[in-house]
Amino acid sequence: MDGRFQKGPKSLWLFENKFKGRIEAGNLMNQLPLDLQVHIYLYALAKETGRKPKGVLYNIIRRPQLKQKKNEPLSDFIARIGEDVKKRPEFYFIRFEVGIMSREMKDFESDLEAMIHDYVMWYRGKRGTYKNGAHCLQPYPCRYLPICSQNDMSGYWQRTKVFPELGEA
């Protein structure tokens, strides 16, 4: 949790910094009801304070899109980025508020309860382990993709003892 603040005498808000390469405010606002991290922070804030947060103040910082030129010294490249930030601060820094409805908080609490239940069932061996293909190619192909997708272990080896330094169990 990056921070919290009061807006007015009774309004509690979460403060979140996000670093993004691409900023699409509409998509960020639409994605908030699905953002597990932010909802966990809102949930924790509510439990800690006994008050329902009113929303999130996003402080979005865009990663520079500039590339270092061939033979450009690093110091010159950094200075060029600095000049670009000075010229276009609105491009690099965006701040906006997203209110949170009580219904969204209740829906998240219900989802969280289900996630915890599923995790406990998995931990006890009563649920399977499922592959998550959402990040196989992002930002680059995972080096274990052949194992997960095709069960292809060629080029890999498996230890007989995971932690041989621990000795016999």
The per-residue pLDDT for 75 is 95
CA separation for the pair 157, 143 (Å, rounded)? 14
Highest mean pLDDT among 19-28, 58-67, 76-85: 76-85
Provide the β-strand partners of residue 5: 13
Q: Which amino acid is at 151?
A: N
The per-residue pLDDT for 23 is 72
Domains of the chain, residue spans:
3-123
CB-side neighbour CA atoms (13 Å) of 152 = 8
Residue 90 pLDDT level (bands cut at 50, 70, 90): very high
The per-residue pLDDT for 31 is 74
pTM score: 0.71
Q: Which amino acid is at 143?
A: R
pLDDT tens digit sequence for 130-168 = 877 778 887 788 888 888 888 888 888 888 887 777 776
pLDDT at 87 over 90: yes
Alpha-helical runs (H) found in 25-144: 25-31, 36-49, 74-87, 89-92, 102-123
The per-residue pLDDT for 169 is 52
